[in-house]
Amino acid sequence: MSLLNSTIEKPRLGEPFLLTPGPLTTSYAVKEAMLQDWGSWDEEFRALTAEMRKELLALTGDISDSLDCVPMQGSGSFSVEAMLGSFLPHDGKVLVLSNGAYGKRIAQTLEYLGRNHVVLDKGDYMPPRGEEVAQTIKDDPDITHVIIVHCETSSGILNPIKEISDAVKTSGRKLLVDSMSVFGAVKLDVTEIDYVAMVSSANKCIEGVPGFGFIIAKKDELEAAKGRSHSLSLDIHAQWAHMNKTGQWRFTPPTHVVVAFLEALRAHKIEGGVKGRGARYEKNRDVMVAGMRQLGFETLLNDRWLSPIIVTFFCPAHKNFDFDIFYNLLKQKGFIIYPGKLTLAESFRIGCIGQMDEHIMRNVVSAVKDTLEEMQVDSAIPPEHALIERAKLI
Ligand SMILES: *Cc1c(COP(=O)(O)O)cnc(C)c1O
């Protein structure tokens, strides 16, 4: 594979590129950072935890020192559950804006927690809009909180968070954000998007390895969360209070993952922070989508809704097309793609995040071209009903 002109180093261990929304392809420096063992109690590791919290807060645009950052062990969903259990009062009611798998997971988590909620269900890929959110709140004055998935990774849609935030603010309610898959690449400035808490994780746009998530929340909300959590281990207030007092995580931290994450944060800063990272991912998306369209593929979403994180394509209607064969042939060429999650039609997804640039994305497109030829698929046009459905999305 030619990576000519690419500023990204070829994976040294010969592994394929992960065109997936995290875990993703990390740099060698990030992997290398994990070669050292650390004592969780040790002063040096405590300093690393403090540095990490500070660096993450610096990405929020918070100028009034109103926020704090609390890392939490586990995958991203653990942090979402921690956020829901810690920031929703037991007598509150939350409006879940759902347009895909992660919105559904939030509603399911609330079922487990037995917290009062209502779902505005937009199906698999329609965006929730500010107006309908305002109306829903008006019709149901019991609603105290609204939760939105910033980028719904299951379709790749970048939800209109600013208009949602404005609607929630005007209604005098509180906003929670699952910004898991975009934080660090798409601006989530707290001075523009007035959230009380948001969540993301180590293995998405900061390009670390999996092992923990982090919650960024208003300090007064952190104070108010005392004694509220349903869970001992997912109690954000307890983790926050302990960390502020001792500098340590409450239970065994993923030490290697934290050190790798700090390395990833350094690279993020060098690249130009949220702006620089976002620009590379946008370029990745634009080059990849243009190339795929040239091959005849169609995206689920119009350009307006495409995130720079991951893009859904319809599978070709051609009789020779088979996703599993397609997947395996691409894997042999060094690229791992992601299956789709649509009920509307068969689909697959290609991620734009991780240690990849536009040159690598061009290689992805040519690998797809070669694979179609091998499969003797001479047209990538999707089934007609998929295009008819898609036309309903403006
Ligand atoms: C990745 C992701 C999560 C968390 O998923 P885990 O598999 O638990 O890490 C949550 N929400 C969104 C939008 C995501 O992309």
Whether residue 7 is predicted with pLDDT greater than 80 in this model: the reply is no
Name the least confident of 105-109, 122-126, 137-141.
Answer: 122-126
For ligand 1, atom 5: residue with the closest CA = 76
CA distance 188 to 60: 6
Amino acid identity for residue 224 in this structure: A
Whether residue 392 is predicted with pLDDT greater than 90 in this model: the reply is no
For ligand 1, atom 4: residue with the closest CA = 76
Whether residue 5 is predicted with pLDDT greater than 80 in this model: the reply is no
Q: What is the pLDDT of residue 390?
A: 86
Q: What is the pLDDT of residue 3?
A: 52
Q: Judge if the beta carbon of residue 235 lies within 6 A of ligand 1.
A: no
User: What mean pLDDT do residues 21-49 have?
Assistant: 95
Q: Which atom of ligand 1 is nearest to the CA of 78?
A: 8
Give me the sheet containing 338-339, strands edge to edge. Answer: 310-314, 347-351, 338-339
User: What mean pLDDT do residues 3-21 have?
Assistant: 75
User: What mean pLDDT do residues 12-31 have?
Assistant: 90
Q: What is the pLDDT of residue 11?
A: 65
Q: Judge if the beta carbon of residue 75 lies within 6 A of ligand 1.
A: yes
Q: pLDDT by residue (tens digit) across 327-337?
A: 999 999 999 99
Exposed e or buried b for every residue in 360-373, given b needs 16+ CB within 10 A?
bbbbbbebbeebbe
For 233, phi and psi rounded to 5 degrees? -80, -25
CA distance 120 to 326: 36
Whether residue 116 is predicted with pLDDT greater than 50 in this model: the reply is yes
Q: Judge if the beta carbon of residue 77 lies within 6 A of ligand 1.
A: yes
CA of 4 to the centre of ligand 1 (A): 33
Q: Which atom of ligand 1 is nearest to the CA of 149?
A: 13
User: What mean pLDDT do residues 104-131 have?
Assistant: 97
For ligand 1, atom 15: residue with the closest CA = 181
Q: pLDDT by residue (tens digit) across 206-237?
A: 999 999 999 999 999 999 999 999 999 999 99
Q: Judge if the beta carbon of residue 160 lies within 6 A of ligand 1.
A: no
Confidence of residue 90 (pLDDT cuts 50, 70, 90): very high
Proportion of the chain above pLDDT 70, given as a percent: 97
User: What mean pLDDT do residues 380-393 have?
Assistant: 90
**How far does CA 262 lie from the centroid of its chain?**
19
**Residues in contact with 83: Cβ distance below 8 Å, sequence separation at least 6, in sequence order:** 176, 197, 199, 215, 217, 236
Q: Judge if the beta carbon of residue 201 lies within 6 A of ligand 1.
A: yes
Q: pLDDT by residue (tens digit) across 308-327?
A: 999 999 999 999 999 999 99
Pairing verdict, β 67-73 and 212-218? antiparallel
User: What mean pLDDT do residues 301-313 have?
Assistant: 96
What DSSP letter does each residue of 341-378 carry, written as one string?
Answer: --SSS-EEEEE--SS--HHHHHHHHHHHHHHHHHTT--
Whether residue 1 is predicted with pLDDT greater than 50 in this model: the reply is no
Residue position matching structure tokens 């505005």:
120
At the second CATH level, the architecture of 17-26+273-390 is Alpha-Beta Complex (3.90)
CA of 151 to the centre of ligand 1 (A): 10
Instruction: Among 77, 199, 207, say which to mutate for ligand 1: greatest number of ligand atoms within 8 Å of CB.
Output: 77
Q: Judge if the beta carbon of residue 24 lies within 6 A of ligand 1.
A: no
Domain ranges of the chain: 17-26+273-390, 38-269
Q: Which atom of ligand 1 is nearest to the CA of 22?
A: 1
Mean pLDDT estimate for the chain: 95
Instruction: Among 151, 180, 204, say which to mutate for ligand 1: greatest number of ligand atoms within 8 Å of CB.
Output: 180
Q: Judge if the beta carbon of residue 212 lies within 6 A of ligand 1.
A: no
CA distance 295 to 290: 9
Torsion of CA 13, 264, 363, 11, to 10 degrees: -10
Q: Judge if the beta carbon of residue 213 lies within 6 A of ligand 1.
A: no
CA distance 127 to 130: 10
Q: Judge if the beta carbon of residue 354 lies within 6 A of ligand 1.
A: no
Q: How far is CA 338 from CA 8, 48, 154, 217, 354, in A?
A: 22, 34, 10, 32, 14
User: What mean pLDDT do residues 171-191 have?
Assistant: 97
Q: What is the pLDDT of residue 2?
A: 46
Q: Which class is 38-269 in CATH?
A: alpha beta
Whether residue 147 is predicted with pLDDT greater than 90 in this model: the reply is yes
Whether residue 259 is predicted with pLDDT greater than 50 in this model: the reply is yes
Instruction: Among 102, 157, 176, 203, say which to mutate for ligand 1: greatest number of ligand atoms within 8 Å of CB.
Output: 102
CA of 73 to the centre of ligand 1 (A): 14
